[in-house]
Amino acid sequence: MIAAAAALSLLLPLASAHMGCGGHEIGRRNHGGSRVLEHRQVANSVVAREREYGRGWGDDILGNMLETDLRDSGRCNASPERACRNPNAAPPGVAAGARAVSCASPTGLVHDPTSECTYYTYSPWDAIKSSYPTIWAAADIVANDTEATALFATINASLNAALPDVAVKGNGDHTGNWGTTDTTYTTDTDCWWTYAKCTTPASSTGLAADITTVPEPETWGLGFDDGPNCSHNALYNFLSEQDQKATMFFIGSNVVDWPVQAIRAKDDGHEICVHTWSHEYMTSFSNQQAFAELYYTRKAIKELLGVTPKCWRPPFGDVDNRIRFIAAALNMTTIVWSEDTDDWKVGTDNVTSADVSANYADFCAAGKNGTYSTFGPVVLNHELNNYTMQEFIDVYPTIKASFKYIVPIATALNTTYPYEETNVTYPTFAQYIGGTTETNGTTASNSSSSSTSNSSTASGAAAAASTSAKSAASQVAALPVMGMFVAGLVATLL
């Protein structure tokens, strides 16, 4: 943990705060993404105003009130340098000067729980963001991105040849409103998870089955969706104290919203996987959009964290053979789950926190009664908000008492090279349970200073692009439906 803190301290000069004394109150959503809020909890007036006036509107009020409280209690430095006001930043309906710009010191961005959700700018991201889709919008290939265009053309040609009859699902709004698909799709020819929870494509497709469980008996496959959350330090500190690693399924828009938090996850030794750019239903996207959702998330992780993930999880589990094909062509394994805590549903569908606690209790009971005597579950947990994170912290001792082992998914699968970078290795399952939980390798994140940690390689646009293209070429060529022509075509594009 000390090493991780030291590594993060090297990044702080690159981060510039632009709202002070941000909050860590229980139940607060990661305001990095209104779309996640929209799908996961009943919208409130603050979220509605954020949609109307822009991301962060609620924090003009919440941050201002919290700053006042902290200053009154003597815990917030109110000097002009740290409590300045920016009248131009206030959206309609907020009094001029309502936004605090830099109440917290830079170190507060990663160490002070009352200010870890302070908005900041990060110069490595600022330098490359023009080559990425708009955050929290459905991704598409960015104009003039010739490499992405060429790579997609190759993958798309192969996809259309292999699976010509797998159609886009829904009516195009990407929110799970399936329109006429609900009535016209009556036979699960596409192995569509949302329709029939299908996770094993027909062998004729050449596609691998989704990961739903782990092969190690009495082992909890630990992962968290929807990060990085700006207020995740309490969870990550807890995991560090427990010497517990996990698999983190990161949303691309969250990674670029909260890059310092994302870097901490990698530096703490957690496995990083892709959870798409905008967290929408993947089968509702065109081939090109689905490609972009995965491609740009993976690229952002490479450029900002220095590693290229080889795993992904579809939001809401929504995947079919068409989407699996695109992910496989990008060298990413599809991981879903066998057990859902429903922590993400609290506040919707009549789900309560008591229901979530009961779900955890059921899983733990199964861990003791022999249900998992020959394999282990992959459990759906979330880094979504402070409730979901605290709930896991609270139940962790019970999980630990109910299962022999709790390990990240890569470790449970004995995946010793979780990234395309071959200088980063993960412990095997035997090594992990024997006490070797750290990854091996050094990385330079996209910053002016190299940070030593337990992961990966130097990043950069050219390196990321080359890696993406080469991995896709090898994966496309490996699929049995592709043939030598496609492999040669991809090689010419490189």
Enter the tokens of residue 317.
Answer: 């589990």
Q: Say yes or no: 96 and 155 in one domain.
A: no
Tell me, yes or no, whether 141 lies in a domain.
no
What CA–CA distance (Å, rounded) separates 237 from 194? Answer: 35
Angle, vertex CA 335, rays to CA 330 and CA 339, nearest 5: 165
382 counts as catalytic: yes
Q: Say yes or no: 170 and 283 in one domain.
A: yes
Total domains in the fold of the chain? 2
Q: Say yes or no: 99 and 150 in one domain.
A: no
Q: Say yes or no: 101 and 196 in one domain.
A: no
Tell me, yes or no, whether 123 lies in a domain.
no
Q: What's the pLDDT tens digit per position in 213-263?
A: 999 999 999 999 999 999 999 999 999 999 999 999 999 999 999 999 999
- CATH code, domain carrying 401: 3.20.20.370
Write down the catalytic residue from 145, 225, 226, 320. 225
Tell me, yes or no, whether 14 lies in a domain.
no
Q: Outline where 268-385 has alpha helix (H).
A: 287-305, 321-329, 353-368
In DSSP terms, 335 is beta-bridged to: 211
Looking up tokens 């779900």 gives 359
Write down the catalytic residue from 174, 232, 279, 382. 382
Q: Give residue 436's identity as a one-letter amino acid code.
A: T
Question: What would the mean pLDDT of 86-94 be, rounded to a whole number?
Answer: 31
Name every residue whose Cβ is closer than 8 Å to that of residue 273 and which is 6 or more positions away in sequence: 223, 247, 248, 249, 250, 309, 311, 312, 313, 335
Give the residue numbers spanning the domain of 393. 146-478
Q: How many Å separate Cα 160 from the centre of its chain?
A: 29
225 counts as catalytic: yes
What CA–CA distance (Å, rounded) separates 32 from 139? Answer: 16
What's this model's pTM, rounded to 2 decimal places?
0.75
Q: Say yes or no: 111 and 157 in one domain.
A: no
> What pLDDT does residue 88 have?
33
Q: What's the pLDDT tens digit per position in 398-453?
A: 999 999 999 999 999 999 999 999 999 999 999 999 999 988 875 555 543 333 33
What CA–CA distance (Å, rounded) separates 5 from 350? Answer: 40
Tell me, yes or no, whether 493 lies in a domain.
no
Q: What's the pLDDT tens digit per position in 28-72?
A: 333 334 333 333 322 233 333 333 334 333 333 333 333 333 333
Q: How many Å separate Cα 239 from the centre of its chain?
A: 17
